[in-house]
Amino acid sequence: MRNAAHNGVGEAVQSHYGRPDLAEVILAALEEAGADLQQLSLEALAPIDEFHIRGRAATLELAQAAGLSATQHVLDVGSGIGGTSRCLAKEFACRVTGIDLTDEYCQLASLLTEKVGLGELIDYRQGDATNLPFEDGEFDVVWTEHVAMNIRDKRRLYSEMYRVLKPGGTLAIYDVLAGPSGPVLFPVPWARTSDTSFLVSPDELRNLLHDAGFTVSNWKDTTAEARKWFVKLAERIRRDGFPVLGFHLLMGPEFRTMAQNQGRNLEEGRIALGQVVSVK
C-alpha cells in the first residue's frame, strides 16, 4: 500500500509514507527477528513485505488471474518497499520495474531486492504514476495494488497506464474501493485524513477503465475475504501487540488505530476490495 501522485497532495502523501531512517529500522528489526541479512529470504521479509490486505495470497491470486509468465516485463505502479515485485520475480521469473513516489521506499526496495538475490530481474524508479517516465507501449503488464486510493486524478492515472502498455497488454489491479455505506473512518493505513484519500466505487472504476480504452476481462469482489483477514490481524494486534517485524514499522504506533479502523470500515461496508484484470 503505497503510491505515486502529485496533484497537490504529493508532499502530504510522501510525508504519510516516508521516514528517513526506514532502511536502518527495517534491517535492525530483521536482525532482531533472527533473519540472516547476508542470505535474506522472502520468507524472512514476509511480515512486512506486501503492504496490502491479504498480502502475498492476494498478489498470487491476481497474478494467476492476469496470466503472468516469465516472458513478460511488468511495471509495478506504487511498488513500495518492493514486496510485490520480489514475489512476482521469484514466482514467475518475470522482469519487473517498480515505480513509487516515496524515495525512501525505492531505496529500501533496491537494498532488500539485492539482499534476496533478485537484483538482475528488478529495478526501481522514483516517480509519479500520473506522469510515468516510460515510453509508449513499453510493458506487457501494468500492475498496481492498493495505490489509486491516494491519487486524485484517476483519469490521468489510467490513461498513463494504458499508454505504457503494449497493444494487447494487461492491467492488473487490486485496490480499495468506496463501499456502499461510507464514509471511511480515519486514520487508515493509506491516509490519516480524508485530504489524501480518493476512493471510487466499483461502478466508477469500471467507467474510468472503459474511458481509458481498457476492456475488463475479469472482475472479482474480494471484500469478504479481506474482512476475515483484517479482523484476524486487528485481533492479533489487540491480543499480542506489535511483532518485532510488521507494518507498524512503516506507519508508526498509529498503525494500531489504523488497523482497528480498517477492520470497522470493512465490517460496516464503508470500503470494498476489487481484483480487476483489463486488456488494452
Per-residue pLDDT tens over the stretch 31-79: 999 999 999 999 999 988 988 999 999 999 999 999 999 999 999 999 9
CA distance 129 to 131: 5
| CATH code, 10-177+196-223+272-279 | 3.40.50.150
Tell me the percentage of the chain whose pLDDT exceeds 70. Answer: 93
pLDDT digits (tens, 9 = 90+) for 231-269: 887 788 788 888 889 888 888 888 889 988 998 999 999
- Answer whether residue 18 shows pLDDT above 60: no
Quick check: 5 and 128 in contact, CB under 8 A? Answer: yes
Tell me the percentage of the chain whose pLDDT exceeds 90. Answer: 74
Give the per-residue pLDDT at 14.
Answer: 57
Give the per-residue pLDDT at 20.
Answer: 72
Reference 212, options 121, 118, 280, 119; nearest CA is 280
The domain ranges of the chain are 10-177+196-223+272-279
